[in-house]
Amino acid sequence: MGRLSVNLLGIELDNPVIPASGTFGYGYEFAELYDINVLGTFSFKGTTREARFGNPTPRIAECSAGMINAVGLQNPGVDAVISHELPLLKKCFNKKVMANVSGFSVEDYAYVCERLDAEEQVGWLEVNVSCPNVHGGGMSFGTSPEAAAEVVRAVKAVTKKPVIVKLSPNVTDVVAIAKACEAAGADGISLINTLLGMRVDIRRRRPVIANKMGGFSGPAIFPVAVRMVYQVSHAVKIPVIGMGGVASAEDVIEMMMAGATAVEIGAQNLIDPYACKKIIEDLPRVMDEYKIENLKDIIGVIE
């Protein structure tokens, strides 16, 4: 493999760049713009047991260094993903894809993961216990080590593919939750999901988004993400995928030095749909500038 390649839980990636769930749809939309096979892989839109319309609008608010979203896991449900979305994706993406899963009960998580685990195209299951903009589920599982571990045990009992748990930064001790997930059988950790944020329309004297609060993402959260990736990667023995405000090849390298095996890119895709392609193309130049021969060599070099 080339100098950009990394191994993520037994699957070799051409590069560590992974569009994050919720920012890349089910892939085929971006395939109209460029060959998405240049990606390491991507995490498809968060999928739940039943179809969801999501939260009421408006549900996006701009910020000076990012954005707030409260989309609320809008998706067609796991049956439609399997019958419609994955066959469309297969026509334009010849690599394994990461399936992002959300739920409102432990049983929901187990059901959806078991269904997607049986799909040949799915290489990894990214279990989202950290969504900050839905009521009655999502982040509530990710704010407690015991609750997160319960989800992991239920999913691992019905799946064979690697299970990556996506954690929330909106907690007191993210390391404790990561370690609980590892002890329960998680194969990897991805973090961070969005921070909880809010904007107020001062002219109308009310919140900008209908849900009042939502997930804050973008370059402003990058230092928080690097810190949490560093803490978690040094506390667990399983691979960590870093994300949160990544917007350049330099950011990817910084995240990997902090301990990430691969790096997801989220909000930047909404600013520039070619963002991931540009970052991948720029990585060799940045590696040369900083005298990095292979990306594998820099994972977790910060003590």
What amino acid positions are annotated as catalytic residues?
131
Angle at the Cα of 152 from the Cα atoms of 146 and 156, rounded to 5 degrees: 145
Q: Which of 46, 36, 95 is nearest to 74 (CA)?
A: 46
CA distance 129 to 147: 9
CA distance 42 to 50: 22
Residue with tokens 């917007």: 247
CA distance 54 to 102: 13
Amino acid, single-letter form, for residue 191: L
Q: Write down the H helix ranges in 157-297.
A: 174-183, 222-233, 249-258, 267-271, 275-289
CA distance 217 to 285: 27
